[in-house]
Amino acid sequence: MEGSQSHEEHPYIPRDLKLPGFVPVVLSQSTIVGVYAVSSLLIVSTIFVLSGRSPKRSKTERWLMCWWAFTGLTHMILEGYFVFSPEFYKDKTACYLAEVWKEYSKGDSRYAARDAGVVAVEGLTAVLEGPASLLAVYAIATGKSYNYILQFAISLGQLYGTATYFITSWLEGDNFAASPFYYYAYYIGANASWVVIPTLISIRCWKKICAAIQVEGQKKTKVR
């Protein structure tokens, strides 16, 4: 009886989704979004200031370092928590990370339901793309020769993961949001950056890699 009551009280769609032991969100939406926004701003500001100590780095490279630090920590901390906390919706301690996913599930209930496709995509993202993103920060900062290839590979991985995320939802009926607001604010809005920015980075890296190969080819031609 208690389990039945719990799943009837959750705010997610579909309404018959069974979440025994569900504990409602304690923190307000503004607090959850505000903490994430302030934390992200702090990370970006710190990286941008520190990266400015070297006159060799362009502003574009500095912003890229900010992006990779932000996205890397988001993958590892937020998404990592989701992957390894299957019953986050039962949390009674108002743990911030659990609250984030309880709130986000209003835009995509597949998270609360532990949809296999979502868990798989988020797992690969947290374990592989998270650390790789932080490696990209280091690669750009130290001018490593592999930094463009690395950024290109991670960006393609992010685009593939995001495409899989949206396509699987569409194939399953695309009806997992509690309201149009949560659909556009969370499901669409919160994921838009991982479509636009990786696309731009992929294009930039592709051009850099092609230019480098062309220069190398011209050098070999001259040597001959």
**Could you write out the three-class secondary structure of the chain?**
CHHHHHHHHCCCCCCCCCCCCCCCCCCCHHHHHHHHHHHHHHHHHHHHHHHCCCCCCCHHHHHHHHHHHHHHHHHHHHHHHHHHCCCHHHCCCCCHHHHHHHHHCCCCCCCCCCCHHHHHHHHHHHHHHHHHHHHHHHHHHHCCCCHHHHHHHHHHHHHHHHHHHHHHHHHCCCCCCCCHHHHHHHHHHHHHHHHHHHHHHHHHHHHHHHHHHHHHHHHHHHHC
At 221, list the tokens: 């031609």
Separation CA 22–CA 19 (nearest Å): 6
pTM beyond 0.75: the answer is yes
Q: Please say whether the beta carbons of 206 and 152 come within 8 A.
A: yes
CA distances from 146 to 19, 135, 220 (A): 46, 11, 21
Q: Cα angle vertex 71, ends 192, 38, to 5°?
A: 90
Separation CA 62–CA 71 (nearest Å): 14
The pLDDT of residue 221: 67
Separation CA 25–CA 37 (nearest Å): 19
Question: How many other β-carbons are positioned within 10 Å of the β-carbon of residue 14?
Answer: 10
The pLDDT of residue 56: 84
Separation CA 162–CA 156 (nearest Å): 10
Sequential pLDDT tens for the chain (224 residues): 344 434 448 999 999 999 999 999 999 999 999 999 999 999 999 999 999 988 888 999 999 999 999 999 999 999 999 999 999 999 999 999 999 999 999 999 999 999 999 999 999 999 999 999 999 999 999 999 999 999 999 999 999 999 999 999 999 999 999 999 999 999 999 999 999 999 999 999 999 999 988 887 777 666 55
The pLDDT of residue 7: 42
Separation CA 94–CA 25 (nearest Å): 8
The pLDDT of residue 1: 37
